[in-house]
Amino acid sequence: AATLGGTAVFAPYDSASLGVYHPEEQTLVLVPLPGKLKCAGRCFAGVASFGDVAVLAPWNADSVGVYDPVKRELRLVAVPEELAGLGSKFAGAAPVGDVAVFSPHEAAHVGVYRLGDSSMELTAVPAAL
């Protein structure tokens, strides 16, 4: 989970919806995942917030999720082709400046999602890690 504009945002791991908890109202709002998302469960594992958006780390999803709380929508950005179809890609997200850094799980790379141009690049993980 990550905080975003006074809310807590939960990445949908085994859920068909993103969860947004509003503590002042004690309500949980569910934002459905886009129908075009290709994922057979366990879609995202980790979320990093950046003031006005939250970025979700793909686990089995072949897309990064970018949540806009004003529009209440989740936009999808395709992962690099070499990761498409790989399960258990990343297990966590951390905000660093204007990028979201994804912790590798099965991916042989650290994932870096750039907010400015909605691009994703990969940094190889040393074999000894």
pLDDT in tens, 7-48: 999 999 999 999 999 999 999 999 999 988 878 789 999 999
3-state secondary structure 10-47: ECCCCCCEEEEEECCCCEEEEEECCCCCCCCCCCEEEE
For the chain, domains (ranges, CATH) are: 2-124 (2.120.10.80)
Answer whether residue 128 shows pLDDT above 80: no
- Select the more confidently predicted residue: 39 or 125: 125
Average pLDDT, the chain: 94
pLDDT digits (tens, 9 = 90+) for 63-80: 999 999 999 899 999 999
In the structure, what pLDDT confidence band is assigned to residue 129 with cuts at 50, 70 and 90?
Answer: low
Contacts of 61 (CB under 8 A, 6+ apart): 37, 38, 39, 43, 44, 76, 79
